[in-house]
């Protein structure tokens, strides 16, 4: 019996089928929303004479991320379903799931090109717009496309962990829009090694606001990626300033992309390309901020960090964000099995859980007093009241210990 037939038989024997199999199609809404909702809605509202209201769809990205998905998470609640062991091999080998991630990329870049056209066009009468877009609409569109690129980084994350060479290349292509190609290097070879330690630029600390974390992780991740590549190339007898350096080749991909867009649409598009790139990678870093806040791997008797366990990642199992982010919220399972495909990731009972989905928690992270009110007590409870076991921001250590140390 073939492996495929055997695993299919195993699936039938347990009577299980993926309840989210066709819900995963919603993951393609982000890169296609401009075409299937945004543009038709703009045209329709303009036809009705509702010109001010017709400007709202240009802000579809922020509306989706900050309003629709958080509300849907509250409405539909946690997922609660894990695939049984008997179907894991079948799910891993079902190419339907990987094709969905492949499809994200052409839609991602079609949206980017359409946005560049809309931003620079002088005549948009086919949308019912007199002349071109105003600056506010252009900014809204740049934010929307930046968020498509930000979710594209998550798609790149899914593809970049795989052993298939083509998928790793697709990962790098997905990252070119946001100029964050070094993420491919730092995340796989840096973050997964140093996660939940003070040495990891992508692990946030108790007392560290998102706004303090952002420059530390952006610069720290880039510096780490460069260092990892320099070390790798030195072993091969190469200097770092070569196209064999994956950081430089990633920058070159972004440079070629941006040069082509500027050549095609004019220099006017460049500030909006920069804006959407910052929005895109900032959305990623907001997610990074959530995933390991305050969690710390302890030193062993030999002075080395303990192995990562489910206790070192904040999870959330809200179904709507799960679908849009390819189970990224099942983060403990991802760190335990980095090459495991998204459809097979499972929710761990022993992992600490966020009170809501990632989309809701991102908004909370933007407001440090609210974030700390919600999350610091959870970190404290996770360590049974001993805040000294947590990953604490060095500059805030005295304040944190004074506030949370047992009497």
- Distance of alpha carbon 109 from alpha carbon 112, whole angstroms: 5
- Distance of alpha carbon 279 from alpha carbon 180, whole angstroms: 12
Q: Is residue 236 part of a domain?
A: yes
Domain span at residue 196 reads: 23-404
Q: Is residue 62 part of a domain?
A: yes
Q: Among 185, 125, 134, which Cα is nearest to 156's?
A: 185
Low-confidence ranges of the chain (pLDDT < 50): 1-11, 13
Question: How large is the C-alpha radius of gyration of the chain?
Answer: 22
- Distance of alpha carbon 46 from alpha carbon 63, whole angstroms: 20
> Do residues 295 and 371 lie in contact, with contact meaning Cβ atoms separated by under 8 Å?
no
pLDDT of 81 reads 82
Q: Among 200, 177, 162, 211, which Cα is nearest to 344's?
A: 162
> Do residues 66 and 359 lie in contact, with contact meaning Cβ atoms separated by under 8 Å?
yes
pLDDT of 407 reads 61
Q: Is residue 329 part of a domain?
A: yes
Other Cβ atoms less than 10 A from the Cβ of 135: the count is 9
Q: Is residue 14 part of a domain?
A: no
pLDDT of 16 reads 82
What does pTM read for this prediction? 0.93
> Do residues 309 and 320 lie in contact, with contact meaning Cβ atoms separated by under 8 Å?
no
Helix extents (H) in 209-327:
210-235, 246-265, 270-291, 319-324
pLDDT of 1 reads 38
365-384 confidence digits (pLDDT tens): 999 999 999 999 999 999 99
3-state secondary structure of 78: strand
DSSP state at residue 350: T
Q: Is residue 48 part of a domain?
A: yes
User: Per-residue b/e over 188-224, b at no fewer than 16 CB within 10 Å?
Assistant: bbbbbebbbbeebbbbbbbbbbbebbbebbbebbbeb
Q: Among 13, 183, 38, which Cα is nearest to 110's?
A: 38
Q: Is residue 16 part of a domain?
A: no
Q: How far does Cα 85 stand from its chain's mean position?
A: 27
Q: Is residue 7 part of a domain?
A: no
Helix or strand run (H / E) with residue 62: helix 60-63
Across 70-228, where does the E strand assignment appear?
A: none
Give first-to-last CA distance, the chain, whole Å: 65
Q: To 5 degrees, how large is the angle CA 296–CA 297–CA 300?
A: 140
206-231 confidence digits (pLDDT tens): 999 999 999 999 999 999 999 999 99
User: Domain tally for the chain?
Assistant: 1
In this structure, what token pair is assigned to residue 36? Answer: 């299937």
Other Cβ atoms less than 10 A from the Cβ of 67: the count is 12
Contacts of 194 (CB under 8 A, 6+ apart): 200, 203
Q: Is residue 10 part of a domain?
A: no
DSSP state at residue 81: -
């Amino acid at each position: 019996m073939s492996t495929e037939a055997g695993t299919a038989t195993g699936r039938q024997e347990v009577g299980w089928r993926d309840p989210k199999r066709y819900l995963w199609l919603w993951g393609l809404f982000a890169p296609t929303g401009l075409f299937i909702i945004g543009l038709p809605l703009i045209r329709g509202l303009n036809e009705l004479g509702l010109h001010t209201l017709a400007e709202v769809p240009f802000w579809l990205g922020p509306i989706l991320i900050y309003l629709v998905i958080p509300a849907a998470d509250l409405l539909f609640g946690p997922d609660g379903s894990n695939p049984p062991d008997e179907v894991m091999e079948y799910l891993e080998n079902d190419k339907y799931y990987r094709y969905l991630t492949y499809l994200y990329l052409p839609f991602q870049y079609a949206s980017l090109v359409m946005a560049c056209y809309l931003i620079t066009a002088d005549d948009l009468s086919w949308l019912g717009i007199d002349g071109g877009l105003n600056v506010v609409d252009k900014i809204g569109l740049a934010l929307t496309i930046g968020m498509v690129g930000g979710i594209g980084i998550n798609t790149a994350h899914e593809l970049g962990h795989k052993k298939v060479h083509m998928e790793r290349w697709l990962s790098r292509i997905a990252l070119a829009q946001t100029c964050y190609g070094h993420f491919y290097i730092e995340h796989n070879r840096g973050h997964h090694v140093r996660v939940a330690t003070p040495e990891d630029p992508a692990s946030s600390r108790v007392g560290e606001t998102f706004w303090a974390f952002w420059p530390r992780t952006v610069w720290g991740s880039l510096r780490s990626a460069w260092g990892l590549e320099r070390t790798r190339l030195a072993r091969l007898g190469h200097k770092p300033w070569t196209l064999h350096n994956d950081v430089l080749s990633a920058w070159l991909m972004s440079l070629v992309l941006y040069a082509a867009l500027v050549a095609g649409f004019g220099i006017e598009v460049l500030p909006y390309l920069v804006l959407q790139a910052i929005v895109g990678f900032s959305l990623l870093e907001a997610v990074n901020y959530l995933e390991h806040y305050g969690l710390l791997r302890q030193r062993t008797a030999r002075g080395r960090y303990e192995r990562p366990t489910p206790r070192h990642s904040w999870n959330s199992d809200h179904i709507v964000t799960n679908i849009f982010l390819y189970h990224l919220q099942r983060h403990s399972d991802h760190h335990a099995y980095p090459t495991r495909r998204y459809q097979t990731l499972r929710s761990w009972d022993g992992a600490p859980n966020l009170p809501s989905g990632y989309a809701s928690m991102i908004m909370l992270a933007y407001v440090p007093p609210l974030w700390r009110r919600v999350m610091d007590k959870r970190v404290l409870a996770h360590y049974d009241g001993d805040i000294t076991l947590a990953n604490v921001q060095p500059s805030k250590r005295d304040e944190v210990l004074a506030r949370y140390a047992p009497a």
